[in-house]
Amino acid sequence: MKKIIILILVISFAGINLGFGQGQKPSDLKFPPLKFEPPDPAVYRIQLANGLRAYIKEDRSLPLVNIAALVNFGNICVPKDRTGLGAVMGDTLIKGGTKTRDGSVIEDRIDFLGGSLSFSVEERTSTLSLFIRSQDLDEGLTLFFDVLMNPEFREDPLKLSKARLIEQLRQANDQPSTILSREYEKLLYGDMSLTWQPTKATFESVTSANLRAAHQSYFFPKNIILAASGDFNKAALTKKINAIIGSWKNTRMTFPALPQKFPELEPGVYFVQKKINQGYISLGNLGIEDTNPDYFAVQVMNFILGGGSFTSRITSKVRSDEGLAYNTGSRFTYRWGFPGTFSGYVQTKSSTAIYAISLILKEFERIRKEPVSDEEMDTALNYYLESFPDFFSSPQTTMANFATLEMQGKPMDYYKTYRDKFRSVTKEKVLEVAQKYIHPEKAAIMIVGDWEPCNQGSDKAPGPLDKLGKVHRINLRDPLTGEEIKTP
Amino acid sequence: MKRAFLFLAVFLGLISLLATAELKLDVKEHVLPNGMKILMIEMPGVPRTVCHIYYKVGSINEYPGITGIAHVHEHMMFKGTKTIGITDYEADDALSRKINELMDKIYREKYWKADGGDKGKTAEWQKEVDGLAQQEKKYIIKDELWELYMKNGGTGLNASTSNEVTGYYVTLPSNKIELQMLLESDRMQNAYFREFYSEKDVVMEERRLSENRPGYLFDEQVNAAFYSASPYHWDVVGWMDDLKKFTEEDMRAFHDRYYVPNNAVAIYVGEINPESIISLAEKYFGRIPKGPDVEPIRTYEPEQNCEKRLYGEGPAPTSIQMMFHTPPDGHPDKAPLAVLADVLGSGGGRFFMRGGMGGGTGRLYKILVKEKELAVNVSAFSRPQWYVGLFRFSATPRIDKGVEPEVLEKEIWAEVEKIKKDGVTEEEIQKAKNRSEAMFLRSLQSSMGLAMQVGRADLNRGWKSLVTDLEDIKKVTNEDVKRVAAKYFVKDNSLTAIYTRKMGR
């Protein structure tokens, strides 16, 4: 580390000694290369008792400790008739108490110490996170592992949690952006656990026994990876954890199969009526997994197309040139175990919805037809190469990144080879992946907005919307019952 | 067993506090001859440096007619300078001037005349403007500043405008800090507002995005009703009328007044060498002449002297907000109010959890959500701003149990009255103190969060206030809590806003 500091010192003074004039340009600045090698995961990896894996880094700069347990359990594991079990577990793993502690005792104690203990169930994984001052580490560890190993999901907190979640269901159709992302995924993935929505009935069907069973199936040492950093002695921490988890048994688990086939989609416009003054729009198709060898080229291609904010084509055209939108661009999302999505997106006033869509489609076509410019390649590649150290911006981020890599079964030299993989992306490869993964002629164009003004369009791009393809009207569902709401 | 545990809990808590009694914030400070302040925090780790610059200007520096201009200005700062974003400055400037003259004619016709003026004429002028804008494109290098930052590995690239402060952010490789100095000093001195009128369209889209957020328009009215006189009356995004009507000339005047080195602080956090940063700052920012002193805002909030109530309905969840005027940042009552917010509902002062954690340990949550099952959520929040303060309770009733918002209002008042009389428990106060300290420590972990806190605090009462505020919290007693509750939680100092869901499901 010291070496790096000295290097910077020299670099900075070198800049000054050159004595640039007042009218200088950024291109006049010379930056000597800055060497950075990513940390090696093997240095931090520890195998704890019963096969619990961990990435642990001492960091004595502040009297604090961060610990996270990454669990191979997500909403996607939940059967259809109990959709929402993940949300209930997210809310009650702590509040529901453990075999020996009331949930409110745990919360009160952590809060009193000024710490925080939180749990969330995401799409594919779950995370329990503890933040605590190092002087309270022993107590924090005890509570952290008690919650992780012995949750009881007691009746009263469970009942309250379900009632609150059901109340919150009422908001499911409030935000146009929430509707758009939910319906877009439903369209691309069809009927699968990712797109199932909880209702009053499915929330109500979740019992304490279901939660305990789910916990028992997935929360065992070999199915969890820890990430920890902070003010502790690594050997001492390891010893403490091993003492707590000594009796924690592994079980056998079969992860539910994830679908690999998705519905053939009829291209065209999918319209959801909502009385608002803008159209919220996503258009595109299914994407790829980030384990795909084309991933790095796709990242570069999308950076140029619409992922690199103002330096990207879509943002430049739709926002800067035309002033049509505040938010616009394109994105690839990635999921673990099956493909993510690709979408161009924009939110624009209703009358310019068609115009904005046509501009985005033109950019889809363009990146498939012509090679990108040298400057565009240069900017995209430099961005990825130069910002690379951000993956290691804090000890806890670094440990969590390593834990995630291992959890997802990615090669542990991922970061070591990361920059070389970007360096090997060529303009030809960018063109190839654009043609391979972007399909404007087959695109699903989803709009959440007010039908009349969206369909009417503007002078530059008059309606009707079926100029963009066959129009399908989508009715929303009553979030409490799951029944379709018939629009008049 | 339970009792022993509790005792241990209190004991451990007290020990914790003593053990870290001395909290330090290691900030290096340098003031340039033109009044600009440079702050530096060394944070070893990876060779990256958070580079932020903050200006003491926000929506409170606007007035009716130009509301929203601070935020539009923030957008315009990405449109280039005399050398950035342009290939031929003179040619572009000539076109820009013509566009501005024509737009002035259009605005006079459209907005100065009650009937909207001669539509034929304005359409003709608009056509001319479009033609000129088209010609201008050949000189413009789109978003060059953004691209320069990105291709040099800039992340966290952004800007934001609040009521009081506007910030410009980038995180760069540590050997490229000079790039930020060059670009930021250039746009402080030489900002050029090309494409001003199309960028206003972008901001109007941004406003529409807010309008489509259920409940936004009601909240905007609540805010406007709560702050009747001070410039906190309008939202940062501004009123749509003003966004439509202010001009490029308004923008230039705003820039010249507030974007001066003596109204700015730059902060660098990460792997840095302070001496080299100072030298670079002297070279780049030091070349800009000091501007006239900037006067603080004049209009604070007058005493309310009446109870205010607002009712609204629409597509957002049914809710109640109870708001009370409190003193601004720096007032001795800030600390007891922060403790009170923590005791009642989590959230509150600067170092507490933000973002409506709704935590299960606040008093109101325990009573209204858990025991009585009347609310889905409830929170209490103390926000001491630079010139005016606000304490707010928010709650969402249990619709499934037929609870009316007014029931929650009564319950919250009952709890407030109890505190006025009996105060809170020693353990509650101690918890709030422990939390404030731990949250402060926690904030020191993130270089970007640290830059934001320190930079902003410095523009108001100096960065050291972050530490003295914490010391003030440690001194809070139960008597202080009772006193501030009695002083501020009175009807004539309040606004109650009740919103009922009516559209949609």
Interface of B with A in 365-394 (CB under 8 A): 366, 369-370, 373, 376-377
The answer to whether the Cβ–Cβ distance between B152 and A390 falls below 8 Å is no
* Per-residue pLDDT reduced to its tens digit, B54-64: 999 999 999 99
Strand partners, B37: B31, B265
The tokens describing A27, both together, are 């291109």
Residues A237 and A287 in one domain: no
* Per-residue pLDDT reduced to its tens digit, B419-434: 999 999 999 999 999 9
Q: What is the mean pLDDT of residues B224-253?
A: 96
The tokens describing A12, both together, are 């900075």
Determine the angle formed by the axes of helices B334-345 and B465-474, rounding to 10 degrees.
70
Q: Are A345 and A282 in contact (CB under 8 A)?
A: yes
Backbone angles phi, psi at A58, to 5 degrees: -75, 140
Give the closest-approach CA distance of B9 to chain A in angstroms. Answer: 7
Which of B182, B360, B446 is opposite residue A394, by nearest beta carbon? B446
Q: Residue A252 — left, alpha, or beta (φ > 0 → left; ψ -120 to 50 → alpha)?
A: beta
CA Rg value for chain B = 25
Distance CA B73, CA B55 (A): 12
CB of B348 within 8 Å of any CB in chain A? no
The answer to whether the Cβ–Cβ distance between A387 and B9 falls below 8 Å is no
Q: Which residue of A has its CA nearest to B174?
A: A8
The answer to whether the Cβ–Cβ distance between A309 and B157 falls below 8 Å is yes
The answer to whether the Cβ–Cβ distance between A31 and B152 falls below 8 Å is yes
Place of tokens 């106060």: B429
Q: Is A410 inside a domain boundary? A: no
Distance CA A181, CA B490 (A): 44
Q: Is A212 inside a domain boundary? A: yes
Residue A126, H or E segment:
strand A126-133
Q: Is A351 inside a domain boundary? A: yes
Which of B146, B171, B399 is opposite residue A310, by nearest beta carbon? B146
The tokens describing A328, both together, are 């616009």
Which CATH superfamily groups domain B308-501?
Metalloenzyme, LuxS/M16 peptidase-like (3.30.830.10)
Give the closest-approach CA distance of A371 to chain B in angstroms. Answer: 19
| For residue B416, pLDDT beyond 80 | yes
Length of chain A: 488
The answer to whether the Cβ–Cβ distance between A114 and B438 falls below 8 Å is yes
Distance CA A225, CA B8 (A): 31
Provide the domain count of chain A.
Answer: 2
* Per-residue pLDDT reduced to its tens digit, A311-356: 999 999 999 888 899 899 999 999 999 999 999 999 999 999 999 9
Q: What letter does residue A20 receive in the DSSP assignment? A: -
The tokens describing A101, both together, are 């502690």
| For residue A276, pLDDT beyond 80 | yes
Q: Are B393 and B379 in contact (CB under 8 A)?
A: yes
**For residue B24, what pLDDT is reported?**
79
The answer to whether the Cβ–Cβ distance between B283 and A16 falls below 8 Å is yes
Q: What DSSP assignment string belongs to B325-349? A: EE--TT-TTHHHHHHHHHHHHS--S
Q: Are A160 and B370 in contact (CB under 8 A)?
A: yes
Q: Are A406 and A53 in contact (CB under 8 A)?
A: yes
Residues A302 and A195 in one domain: no
Strand partners, A133: A64
The answer to whether the Cβ–Cβ distance between A325 and B430 falls below 8 Å is no
Where are the domain boundaries for CATH 3.30.830.10 in chain B? 28-86+140-287, 308-501
Place of tokens 């302070």: B274
Q: Is A258 inside a domain boundary? A: no
Q: Which residue of A has its CA nearest to B198?
A: A323
Residues in chain A within 8 Å Cβ distance of B442: 64, 131
End-to-end CA distance of chain A: 67
* Per-residue pLDDT reduced to its tens digit, A161-186: 999 999 889 889 999 999 999 999 99
Residues A144 and A224 in one domain: yes
Give the closest-approach CA distance of A251 to chain B in angstroms. Answer: 33
Average pLDDT, whole number, for chain B?
A: 90
Kindly report the CATH number that applies to the domain delimited by B28-86+140-287: 3.30.830.10
Residues A209 and A116 in one domain: yes
**For residue A24, what pLDDT is reported?**
78
Of the candidates B111, B125, B103, which has an alpha carbon nearest to the alpha carbon of residue B193? Answer: B103
**For residue A12, what pLDDT is reported?**
37
Residues in chain A within 8 Å Cβ distance of B20: 63, 133, 135
The domain boundary, picked from A245, A276, A303, lies at A245
Which residues have a Cβ under 8 Å from the Cβ of B402 and sit 6 or more positions away?
Answer: none
- Is the preceding omega at residue A63 within 30 degrees of 0, hence cis? no
Q: What letter does residue A484 receive in the DSSP assignment? A: B
Residues A59 and A162 in one domain: yes
* Per-residue pLDDT reduced to its tens digit, B346-364: 633 333 333 233 457 889 9
| For residue B102, pLDDT beyond 50 | yes
Q: What b/e string do you get for A189-201 counting C-beta neighbours within 10 Å, with b at 16 or more?
A: beebbbbbebbbe
* Per-residue pLDDT reduced to its tens digit, A16-70: 333 334 457 898 999 878 899 999 999 999 999 999 999 999 999 999 999 999 9
The answer to whether the Cβ–Cβ distance between A16 and B279 falls below 8 Å is yes
Q: What is the mean pLDDT of residues B201-213?
A: 89
Residues A226 and A272 in one domain: no
**Which of A135, A393, A458 to mutate against chain B (most B CBs within 10 Å)?**
A393
State which amino acid sits at residue B2. Answer: K
Residues A442 and A384 in one domain: yes
**For residue A23, what pLDDT is reported?**
53
CA Rg value for chain A = 26
Which of A8, A13, A311 is opposite residue B146, by nearest beta carbon? A311
Q: Which residue of A has its CA nearest to B317?
A: A171
**For residue B458, what pLDDT is reported?**
97
Q: What is the mean pLDDT of residues A118-125?
A: 95
Residues in chain A within 8 Å Cβ distance of B199: 323
Q: Are A245 and A48 in contact (CB under 8 A)?
A: yes
**For residue A486, what pLDDT is reported?**
80
Residues A224 and A370 in one domain: no
CB atoms within 10 A of CB B418: 13
Coil/strand/helix, residue A22: coil
- CATH at A179: 3.30.830.10
Residues A76 and A189 in one domain: yes
Angle at alpha carbon of residue B86, lines to B81 and B91, rounded to 5°: 105
Q: Is A403 inside a domain boundary? A: no
Which of A26, A136, A478 is opposite residue B12, by nearest beta carbon? A136
| For residue B12, pLDDT beyond 90 | no
**For residue B359, what pLDDT is reported?**
58
Residues A278 and A380 in one domain: yes
Q: Is A466 inside a domain boundary? A: yes
Q: What is the mean pLDDT of residues B71-84?
A: 95
| For residue A6, pLDDT beyond 60 | no
A354: domain range?
268-388+419-474
Q: Is A321 inside a domain boundary? A: yes
Residues A349 and A278 in one domain: yes
How far CA A395 is from CA of A2, A53, B191, B260, in Å, comes to: 17, 17, 39, 38
Residues A282 and A204 in one domain: no
Strand partners, A67: A130, A228
Distance CA A64, CA A132 (A): 6
**For residue A123, what pLDDT is reported?**
94
| For residue A97, pLDDT beyond 70 | yes
Distance CA B349, CA B381 (A): 8
Q: Is A209 inside a domain boundary? A: yes
**For residue A254, what pLDDT is reported?**
86
Give the closest-approach CA distance of A378 to chain B in angstroms. Answer: 7
Q: Is A258 exposed, middle or buried (0-12, 13-18, 19+ CB in 10 A)?
A: middle
The answer to whether the Cβ–Cβ distance between A12 and B146 falls below 8 Å is no
Distance CA B293, CA B458 (A): 17
